[in-house]
């Protein structure tokens, strides 16, 4: 079991994080390298002591540092209808920000 872990919500997704972990989140406006704070903490666990709830976690935050920005691997989307001469091919690369989690404060 990890000594301290938390669940944070960033960009419409939830991430289970612990200090020292590197995560890829939706693109953030922070410059690289630099600090970033996540205030939307949903859950914390410190050596089996679980804290859940908006009131209990109102002042909780997860602090990290921005390592860099990038774009994920290309995803190809193909639309095709047989016998109708309809073909569409489109690619997409999702932008992301790499963040190293430094501390979890409750």
3-class SS letters over the chain: CCCEEEEEEECCEEEEECCCCEEEEECCCCCCCEEEEECCEEEEEECCEEEECCCCCCCCEEEEEEEEEEECCCEEEEEEECCCCEEEEEEECCEEEEEEEEEEEC
**CA–CA gap between residue 69 and residue 79 (Å, rounded):** 30
**Whole-number pLDDT of residue 48:** 87
Give the mean model confidence (pLDDT) for residues 1-30: 92
More confident residue, 53 or 92: 92
3 pLDDT band, cuts 50/70/90, is: confident
Q: Single out the residue of 101, 5, 17 nearest to residue 45, CA to CA.
A: 5
pLDDT at residue 38, rounded to an integer:
95
Residue pLDDT, tens place only, 60-106: 999 999 999 999 999 999 999 999 999 999 999 999 999 999 999 98
Q: What is the pLDDT of residue 106?
A: 86
């Amino acid at each position: 079991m990890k000594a301290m872990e938390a669940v944070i919500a960033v960009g419409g997704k939830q991430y289970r994080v612990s200090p020292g972990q590197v995560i890829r989140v939706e693109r953030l406006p922070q410059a690289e390298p630099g600090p970033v704070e996540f205030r939307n903490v949903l859950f914390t666990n410190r050596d089996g002591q679980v804290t859940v709830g908006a009131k209990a976690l109102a002042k909780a935050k997860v602090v990290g540092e921005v390592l860099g920005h990038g774009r994920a691997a290309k995803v190809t989307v193909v639309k095709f209808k047989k016998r109708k001469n309809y073909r569409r091919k489109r690619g997409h690369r999702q932008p992301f920000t790499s963040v190293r989690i430094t501390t979890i404060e409750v």
